[in-house]
Structure 1
């Protein structure tokens, strides 16, 4: 068979796989992939509650502090870009096993940093496996779960982020109340991320490679076995032998996505949305504990202990509310669609940031907390579906590449926000910096309104078109 015939055969198998009902194995695979977000949330945001101790020990400049917090985002940007491509070339399982091993080693190593530059370098390196795992994980979800459940699971990433953030706050606060030495506290706090990563690594060892990925790479024998494990279907239309299918190219990915108006607009929106929500949260939300401490929110008495504990409690409550928003977001898709979810999310974030800037300016503490809650609720809606959209509208052979490209925009903007926000705050003050961030949310709202076509259920529509094509050919 020539390459066109092999591609046609792989498309027929893909159609069948995309129409499969969910099984316990496919659901388990989806949860194992989305659980990576818990680990990323711990590493990305535990440091926001540990910055005060890192500053005390290393006395970094504003630029060094920005790099220490943003370095993991820069590493994740590179990891997302290369990880998605590598996963499409060599398979999902190799990538998600390798990334977890690297994360465990680097998470422990950062706890032994001897100076601020060592910490910056290690946090940059730890971002590479994180970014790779996310882009690969989204491809796994889209390929291993049943139709109707893929979008729902993919949109749970903000719920998992919120859960990880709340756990990070609680653990750091408990260690602080217990009187742990501050120089040890931040090191333990960062190194603890290796524990859930190890649990996840062990849990993933028995997960099969996705049959779609195997099919697209011509490994038909393994694809049949994997499909049997995930869906109870041996794909009898495939021969019991492996074949050579030409590797996908990045240029082909862009050509395919740009040739279809819906794919093109949805992808462009996904990139804009990912960038806006990444910078939006990393700028304001990431530094929320610092802002609350500076504003005196949560202070229950006099002294440093009362300030830090009280502020952490308020922050935990804000993130708990945000976690509820992240849990509800996937449920809203069937009612308001991706477009409505994004518009509501970015709109609420914009309002929360503007009101928050005003409240900080007049030092109205209750209003600062209310604005933070509105911001976080909105953010956990507007950030829930950008990655889902970019991966969902891509053809099967480009799923991980599309996820990687999408996550590059999240991490690039997150790096920018984490690095620039403390510098903006030192020059413009928290009010000016917060108002500047609100423009990001406004941009996201306008892009949802004028660029994003409604793509809820798009996977099913694309599958139906492939199915008709396969039937006509057969």
Structure 2
């Protein structure tokens, strides 16, 4: 065991980085797996909020009488808030720890979710949803850092890539709940308020489940909290970190200005991160522009709508499509071991492109069954192409910047989602639903090309801090993308 008070700042940083590298290669425990599920479950809550409003939008229009631009803002506001929260939450989590952020974000979300039920006009709804997005974005960036720091190699990648499975589950639940509320005859002016406020229920359950989760040992190490880091490391990895002194130390705070320098200095980090940003932007706009408006597209195309205008049939068709998508989201992480991150991304974007092209022609020629088929192909592909962008951005980043990297990566998702949610109705009005669908397919094609020509294979990658001798050796061994696997 290392002892003594004569360690220099360089020695302490070296020990911290060495302990970090040691834990990143450790097998996890049941506690670390539980923590991973508690973090990825945030996606279910986000999906509920994002998709519930899509199903009650028609009632919001009737009750609040918004203009087309105001509808776009109401739909996109939570994306704009999440964009802000993703970056700020990541920076705060890196400086002050993961637990403070993941508790605070859930409390804020619960309050703001309920507040949606009491708005009096469309602008109040826009403001509340903008604020609601801030804790959502913060929790995602912090949650991905937590997963990458609390689970074992391979397992953390699979858990991070389950976000589409959780997203699909949240969408299906929201569809079924809204359909049930509609079927039992709740007044439409009450229904949309209740549907949005009910997002607080799973958030409360998640908050209670998170109260006993520990801070991650890697975050504690990077902030010099060695005493607590050794305790949590024993709990999550069965490793007491005997190489560290039994006292807390002072380490330099991470500088945001160093984040991109560190990423850009290593070719693997740089290429993987660039792909993650492109992938996040393409999949964010891809889904929000078409999949998010899928219920509206189906209604306007007459799919599942009865002669009396009852939309229950449309909701059931949409639910079945998202059940298929949820299965796709479950399968995608399992495929990582077989075809790697590049394979999952290429197949995902490729299928999404095919689905959108087919959907565009089906809408143009009013082939109702092919609209559904195109939507199924799109959703299967999307739930693959969207599965690993955040995982890659978080996985290749150094621990002291990991939440910042996660947040920065999520900014691309939310910026593209905000753009897609706000612009797609306008593009659809100008080019028609079919033309707008063809425009969206360009995003899928860009994602496919980025996966093929930019992304190195990083399945099994273990980040190494620069301050250690092991990091230098690892960086040298990663000179070829294929060798990133199993580092």
How high is the TM-score relative to the length of structure 1? 0.97
Shift of 1:387: 0.2
User: Which residue, out of 333, 336, 353, partners 1:350?
Assistant: 353
Q: SS of the counterpart of 1:394? A: coil
Question: Structure 1: which 5+ runs fail to align?
Answer: none
Shift of 1:304: 2.1
For the pair 1:319 / 2:337, whether they are aligned, the reply is no
User: Which residue, out of 291, 296, 303, partners 2:308?
Assistant: 303
User: Which residue, out of 198, 209, 220, partners 1:214?
Assistant: 220
Q: Is the 8 A contact 2:356 2:438 kept in 1?
A: yes
Distance 2:319 2:69 in 1: 28
For the pair 1:92 / 2:98, whether they are aligned, the reply is yes
User: Which residue, out of 170, 176, 188, partners 1:170?
Assistant: 176
Q: What pairs up with 1:7-406 in 2 under 5 angstroms? A: 7-299=13-305, 301-305=306-310, 308-406=311-409
User: Which residue, out of 400, 404, 415, partners 1:412?
Assistant: 415
Shift of 1:222: 1.1
Deviation track 1:271-299 (CA, whole Å, cap 9, x = no partner) reads 00000000000000000000000000012
Q: Is the 8 A contact 2:94 2:219 kept in 1?
A: yes
Q: Is the 8 A contact 1:79 1:128 kept in 2?
A: yes
Q: Is the 8 A contact 2:466 2:472 kept in 1?
A: no
How high is the TM-score relative to the length of structure 2? 0.94
Distance 1:464 1:332 in 2: 31
Q: SS of the counterpart of 2:165? A: helix
Q: Is the 8 A contact 2:14 2:468 kept in 1?
A: no
Q: Is the 8 A contact 2:335 2:344 kept in 1?
A: yes
Runs of 4 or more, structure 1, over 6 Å off, are none
Q: Is the 8 A contact 2:355 2:378 kept in 1?
A: yes
Distance 1:370 1:466 in 2: 53
Shift of 1:463: 8.6
Q: Is the 8 A contact 1:103 1:194 kept in 2?
A: yes
Shift of 1:227: 1.2
Q: Is the 8 A contact 1:34 1:157 kept in 2?
A: yes
Shift of 1:2: 3.0
Distance 1:467 1:93 in 2: 31
Deviation track 1:3-24 (CA, whole Å, cap 9, x = no partner) reads 3222101011112211221211
How has the CA–CA distance of structure 1 residues 456 and 463 changed in structure 2, closer, same or farther, with 3 Å as cutoff? farther
Distance 2:261 2:467 in 1: 19
Deviation track 1:363-410 (CA, whole Å, cap 9, x = no partner) reads 000000000000000000000000000000111111111100000000
Shift of 1:233: 2.1
Deviation track 1:297-348 (CA, whole Å, cap 9, x = no partner) reads 012x31122xx10100000000000000000000111111111111110111
Distance 2:402 2:316 in 1: 40
Question: What is the number of residues matched between the two proteins?
Answer: 468
Shift of 1:464: 13
Distance 2:414 2:133 in 1: 9
Residue 436 (structure 1) aligns with = 439
How has the CA–CA distance of structure 1 residues 214 and 420 changed in structure 2, closer, same or farther, with 3 Å as cutoff? same
Deviation track 1:61-91 (CA, whole Å, cap 9, x = no partner) reads 1110000000000000000010001000000
Distance 1:467 1:33 in 2: 32
Distance 1:278 1:152 in 2: 20
Distance 1:331 1:304 in 2: 41
For the pair 1:452 / 2:455, whether they are aligned, the reply is yes
Distance 1:309 1:463 in 2: 54
Q: Is the 8 A contact 1:12 1:470 kept in 2?
A: no
Shift of 1:200: 0.4
Deviation track 1:254-275 (CA, whole Å, cap 9, x = no partner) reads 1110000110000000000000
Residue 479 (structure 2) aligns with = none
Distance 2:329 2:467 in 1: 32
Distance 1:352 1:102 in 2: 38
Residue 6 (structure 1) aligns with = 12
Distance 1:40 1:222 in 2: 32
Pairwise CA RMSD: 1.6
